[in-house]
């Protein structure tokens, strides 16, 4: 049985696990969004009801409003916390299984490399590359999550600022709420602009995909490794991976520089 045939079931399971983890992360973000924004909206609705509703009219009672509002808040908080914890457990369990399958895949690929009678130095190097690739992917996911969090803060905060500013015409306390939310929006926008989470995530993801492509090409003996002697193929593989990693380091250094320095950098001919 060839390595490609042996690793096919493992590859399929890895793809399925990555899809399940991605879905669980999306649902976890939704539950966190409801836990924070949804419950905050419920509190604001109850407060607004106490401030703006005329309770002198028949059939309107402040006690009943507060009772149902607090009950809805408690039920919403409990449900959102429960679902957030459920999705977190799913992510943790699926991630453990994914790491196990990736280790199994690396073992199968290492066996194929060993069968080519290559040097022990290259075997060690080759076995370390999947870990490097996965580290880039984890970094990309980490920066992507941070960017989404702060971007969501900017979007929601901008909407709440407009609402609070409008309400400030009736009640003075809303003007302070609008000021606080506006400050939070400005801080979040500044953090996004300074740390450049989106750009860092994109660079790391591209680097991980490029390394993964080289690993697959080398393992299957395709593209630049087709009909190439093992010694030459191993040298080509190491050179290409190191070139990709060097490009990633240059991208990181470029992101650390101020915008005016990056704009003055001469473009390669």
Handedness of CA 82, 85, 89, 95 (dihedral sign): positive
Asked if 188 and 157 touch (Cβ cutoff 8 Å), the reply is yes
pLDDT band at residue 171 using 50, 70 and 90 as cut-offs: low
Number of neighbouring beta carbons within 10 Å of residue 211: 22
pLDDT in tens, 191-238: 898 889 999 999 999 999 999 999 889 888 888 898 888 888 888 999
Question: In this model, does residue 177 exceed pLDDT 60?
Answer: yes
CB-based burial of residue 94 (10 Å sphere; 0-12 exposed, 13-18 middle, 19+ buried)? buried
pLDDT in tens, 90-110: 989 998 998 888 888 777 777
Residues 45/70, Cβ–Cβ less than 8 Å: no
51 close to 171: Cβ distance less than 8 angstroms: yes
- How confident is the model at residue 15, as a pLDDT? 85
Residue 268 predicted with pLDDT over 50: no
Question: Where does the pLDDT of residue 168 fall: very low under 50, low under 70, confident under 90, or very high at 90 and above?
Answer: low
CB atoms within 10 A of CB 243: 12
Higher pLDDT, 184 or 60: 184
CA-closest candidate to residue 28, choices 74, 99, 94, 81: 81
- Is the pLDDT higher at 64 or at 9? 9
- For residues 89 and 27, the answer to whether their CB atoms sit within 8 Å is no
- Compute the average pLDDT of residues 229-253: 91
Task: Return the pLDDT at 264.
Answer: 53
The shares of helix, strand and coil residues in the chain, as percent rounded to the nearest 5, are: 85, 0, 15
Q: For the segment 21-70, what is each residue's pLDDT rounded down to a tens digit?
A: 888 888 888 888 888 878 888 888 877 777 777 666 655 567 777 788 88
**pLDDT above 50 (res 269):** no
Label residue 129 exposed, middle or buried (CB < 10 Å: 0-12, 13-18, 19+). buried
Kindly report the pTM of this predicted structure.
Answer: 0.62
């Amino acid at each position: 049985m060839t390595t490609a045939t042996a690793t096919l079931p493992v590859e399929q399971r890895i793809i399925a696990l990555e899809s399940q983890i991605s879905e669980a992360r999306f649902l976890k973000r939704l539950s966190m969004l409801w836990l924070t924004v949804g419950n905050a909206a419920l509190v604001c609705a109850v407060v607004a009801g106490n401030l703006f509703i005329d309770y002198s009219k028949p059939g309107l009672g402040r006690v009943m409003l507060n009772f149902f509002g607090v009950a809805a808040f408690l039920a919403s908080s409990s449900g959102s916390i429960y679902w957030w914890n459920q999705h977190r457990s799913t992510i943790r369990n699926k991630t453990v299984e994914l790491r196990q399958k990736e280790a199994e895949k690396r073992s199968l690929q290492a066996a194929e490399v060993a069968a080519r009678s290559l040097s022990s130095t290259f075997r060690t190097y080759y076995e370390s590359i999947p870990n490097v690739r996965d580290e880039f992917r984890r970094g990309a996911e980490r920066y992507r999550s941070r960017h989404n969090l702060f971007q969501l803060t900017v979007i929601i905060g901008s909407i709440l600022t407009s609402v609070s500013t409008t309400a400030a015409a009736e009640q003075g306390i809303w003007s302070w709420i609008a000021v606080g939310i506006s400050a939070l929006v400005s801080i979040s926008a500044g953090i996004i602009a300074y740390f450049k989470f989106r750009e860092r995530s994109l660079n790391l993801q591209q680097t991980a995909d490029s390394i993964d492509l080289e690993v697959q090409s080398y393992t299957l003996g395709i593209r630049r490794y087709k009909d190439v002697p093992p010694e030459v193929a191993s040298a080509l593989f190491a050179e290409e991976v190191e070139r990709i990693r060097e490009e990633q380091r240059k991208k990181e250094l470029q992101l650390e520089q101020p915008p005016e320095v990056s704009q003055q950098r001469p473009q390669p001919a």
